[in-house]
Structure 1
Amino acid sequence: MRSNRVVAGWLALAPLFVVSGVSQAEPYFAVREGLKCSSCHFNAAGGGMRNAFGNAWAQSALPAKRIEGTGTDSWTGMVNSFIALGGNLRANGTYTDVPNSSAQSEFDLEEVRAYLAISAIPNRLAVYVDQRVAPGGSTNLEAFARYTTEDQRWQVQAGQFYLPYGLRLEDDGAFVRQVTGINFATPDRGVQVGYESGSVSAQLAVSNGTASGPEPDEGKQVSLRAEHIQNAWRVGAGFNFNHTDAGDRQMQGVFAGVRTGPIAWLAEADYLMDETLGPQPDGSSERKRWVGLIEANWLITKGQNLKITAEVFEPDTDVDEDEQNRYSLLWEYFPFQFMQLRVGARIYDGIPQNDLQNRRIYFAQLHGFF
């Protein structure tokens, strides 16, 4: 009972510690709870390290049960008032069935990540690092310094970070994240200004536009994300423009979330105009594409979520019958704090001539975070 009181205490005190904590979450949590992404995460747009409130929520509200430790303290991610640590691991088992090919199965270590936040001036000045340490060699994903104004409304950060655009889904393979090219595998280097006040969350970034690669020209990328948040619903919009010598790429989109009883709904639609793909068959210089997502998350019982998604990708609006669809069904189980099990299936439905666009994937995933 004492441990439960400690968790409740951290929930009450968590807003005082906005620079601690851990792991990558999903936006349906925020929709279900009526919170901003910044309520639980170091990044205002979501993903990456959790703060103390996020850690307390992950120990008390998220799992089916709580394992009580021998001590009296609960994990907050904070080493002290200046330093916070966290970690994340995903291990998968997949079975892939592609028409006219032999099925394949494999076990894979998707990622091991470490997080570090140093708050030299608590709540005002911080340095943050998100490092992918395995598999393979170590790769930096985020590394930036951030200054926050005294009223906590404005933030300015510089370095390498995930760009603000759309729903920050955990699944980088989702069409809205894969086609737009803004996901957890494509951070960029630049400067970002953020605003958080009441029901408004907004971020504007100017970056190289090279997904953290070297800058080959003088062109730059501008990314904007703004969201209006209420207790049971939210709506937002995004804009991205990348100017390069190879051509310009522009996209704009809208996204939303709503809670209806035990179901949290997410939706996003994006329209892209891309000159970097070269001259088109009709003689135009750009290809026009659009992509969409609808997702439902049903809270079966505490610690168990059933996720159903439907996605569509139109690779070229000037070409008929080239659409691609993807349907997913996932069961997510949080047996106890800082542990998630996922079992699911994904069915791809594309043009009949392309076997890969008609594959089926069945998978199980172990996700540990702290």
Structure 2
Amino acid sequence: MRSSTVFWKIPALVALFIVAGYVQAEPYFAVREGLKCSSCHFNAAGGGMRNAFGNGWAQGALPARRIEGTGTDAWTGTVSRFFALGGNLRANATHTDVPDNDARSEFDIEEARAYLAITPVPDRLAVYIDQRIAPGGSTNLEAFARYTTQDQRWQVQAGQFYLPYGLRLEDDGAFVRQVTGINFATPDRGVQMGYESGSLSAQLAVTNGTASGPEEDEGKQVSLRAEHVQSVWRVGAGFNLNHTDAGDRQMQGVFAGLRTGPIAWLAEADYLTDETLGPVERKQWVGLVEANWLISQGQNLKLTAEVFEPDTDVDEDEQNRYSLVYELFPFQFVQLRVGARIYDGIPQNDLQNRRIYFAQLHGFF
């Protein structure tokens, strides 16, 4: 990782990183830099608020250039020893072309989110809130209390949180996130235990299984994610079982990452057995392969191929999606993205053969 660049520009973050011990990053960032998912974010399973190291890396190593303000201090997210703040804003312009339908273009706010972490006992006891502010009304996504052991290896948290399973991709529309139903729109309520040590990261959660909705039966959902991380490769596995009166849904999957020169590769495959979709058990599988080419500092080209088999007992019902996305980080805390997504499904379904072109402004801190 280009940690020397970060520390040279923001030397105060060295001490903060040593004290913090763990944080998290987007999957391809983590693969590219040889970091665990717990290397840039507050949440041990990834996503949400960035910690001091994540903010420092976003300022010194991620952008093409750094703009200087009138002050000399760098943003770390830390307001005081006991409080930290963060946020995300994504604004989109999209053009959607569906066969035999009128094309549609629109501007929209995908999300505006605010993060707050309160640590009455630094490094040991924390309360965390992830609040979606827009679009629409304010909605809570994560709200939990977390206890960490003194050696920083074990964590236990209770409340509402994102479930640990698979790659925590930013794109909730990816088949592996949409089909499994585990994404940034479906947190759940329960308890979670996590373990972080050396090259191993693991989380086990027991939740209601209602995507933060009201509990309607005695069934519970169990989610497990474990990952072994090395400097240029990683491999992990996930398991999820949601037991309900309507039937059980079981998922198991594997995921991996590999760095080959300037390209960071991601892959995930999941197999689902679902008894909730009808009288007959349905078996599905979904997969993703993604390549991220570091063109130069601050520029990334993403190519993704996805496949979804909605019923293994039905022939020729597969769906595919291909994406090409250019990402530019012109300066700290700003990302610009332009891209195209092409869907390839059964010919009779126009929506499964749509094309989407988009541009996005992403501000984060």
TM-score range, shorter chain: over 0.9
Question: SS at the partner of 2:38?
Answer: helix
Q: Matched residues in 2 for 1:121 and 1:153: separation?
A: 16
Q: What is residue 107 of structure 1 aligned with on the other side?
A: 107
Normalization by structure 2: what TM-score? 0.97
Q: Matched residues in 1 for 2:22 and 2:255: separation?
A: 27
Specify which of 342, 358, 368 is matched with residue 363 of structure 2: 368
Q: CA deviation at 1:72?
A: 1.0
The answer to whether the Cα contact below 8 Å between 2:26 and 2:37 also exists between their aligned partners in 1 is no
The answer to whether the Cα contact below 8 Å between 2:7 and 2:13 also exists between their aligned partners in 1 is no
Q: What is residue 342 of structure 2 aligned with on the other side?
A: 347
Q: Between Structure 1 and Structure 2, how many residues are aligned?
A: 360
- Does 2:97 align with 1:97? yes
Q: 1:121 to 1:12 in 2, by over 3 A?
A: closer
The answer to whether the Cα contact below 8 Å between 1:90 and 1:109 also exists between their aligned partners in 2 is yes
Q: Deviations over 1:47-96 (max 9, x none)?
A: 00111000000000000000011111000000001000011100000000
Question: SS at the partner of 2:77?
Answer: coil
Q: Deviations over 1:15-41 (max 9, x none)?
A: 324699xxx952000000000111111
Q: What is residue 42 of structure 1 aligned with on the other side?
A: 42
Unaligned stretches of 5+ in structure 2?
Answer: 1-5
Question: SS at the partner of 2:177?
Answer: helix
Q: Matched residues in 1 for 2:22 and 2:265: separation?
A: 29
The answer to whether the Cα contact below 8 Å between 1:15 and 1:53 also exists between their aligned partners in 2 is no
Q: What is residue 192 of structure 1 aligned with on the other side?
A: 192
Q: What is residue 337 of structure 1 aligned with on the other side?
A: 332
The answer to whether the Cα contact below 8 Å between 1:223 and 1:240 also exists between their aligned partners in 2 is yes
RMSD: 1.4
The answer to whether the Cα contact below 8 Å between 1:18 and 1:51 also exists between their aligned partners in 2 is no
Q: Matched residues in 1 for 2:214 and 2:114: separation?
A: 24
Q: Matched residues in 1 for 2:7 and 2:158: separation?
A: 39
The answer to whether the Cα contact below 8 Å between 1:92 and 1:363 also exists between their aligned partners in 2 is yes
The answer to whether the Cα contact below 8 Å between 1:19 and 1:126 also exists between their aligned partners in 2 is no
Q: Matched residues in 2 for 1:11 and 1:312: separation?
A: 42
Q: Matched residues in 2 for 1:74 and 1:116: separation?
A: 19
Q: What is residue 13 of structure 1 aligned with on the other side?
A: 16
Question: SS at the partner of 2:256?
Answer: strand
Q: Matched residues in 2 for 1:327 and 1:335: separation?
A: 26
Q: Matched residues in 2 for 1:230 and 1:331: separation?
A: 27
Q: Matched residues in 1 for 2:192 and 2:101: separation?
A: 46
Letter matched to residue 103 of structure 2: A
Q: What is residue 282 of structure 1 aligned with on the other side?
A: none
Question: SS at the partner of 1:216?
Answer: coil
Q: Matched residues in 1 for 2:22 and 2:339: separation?
A: 33
Q: Matched residues in 2 for 1:363 and 1:200: separation?
A: 37
Q: Matched residues in 1 for 2:200 and 2:16: separation?
A: 23
Unaligned stretches of 5+ in structure 1?
Answer: 280-284
- Does 2:285 align with 1:286? no
Alignment of 1:124-135 (within 5 A): 124-135=124-135
Q: CA deviation at 1:8?
A: 3.1
The answer to whether the Cα contact below 8 Å between 1:331 and 1:343 also exists between their aligned partners in 2 is yes
Q: What is residue 162 of structure 2 aligned with on the other side?
A: 162
Q: What is residue 3 of structure 2 aligned with on the other side?
A: none
The answer to whether the Cα contact below 8 Å between 1:6 and 1:72 also exists between their aligned partners in 2 is no
Q: CA deviation at 1:4?
A: 7.7
The answer to whether the Cα contact below 8 Å between 1:14 and 1:52 also exists between their aligned partners in 2 is yes
The answer to whether the Cα contact below 8 Å between 2:269 and 2:285 also exists between their aligned partners in 1 is yes
**Percent sequence identity over aligned pairs:** 84
- Does 2:314 align with 1:314? no
Normalization by structure 1: what TM-score? 0.95
Q: Deviations over 1:126-184 (max 9, x none)?
A: 00000001111000000000000000000000000000000000000000000000000
Letter matched to residue 94 of structure 2: T
The answer to whether the Cα contact below 8 Å between 1:11 and 1:56 also exists between their aligned partners in 2 is no
Question: SS at the partner of 1:57?
Answer: helix
Q: 1:317 to 1:364 in 2, by over 3 A?
A: same
Q: Matched residues in 2 for 1:286 and 1:64: separation?
A: 51
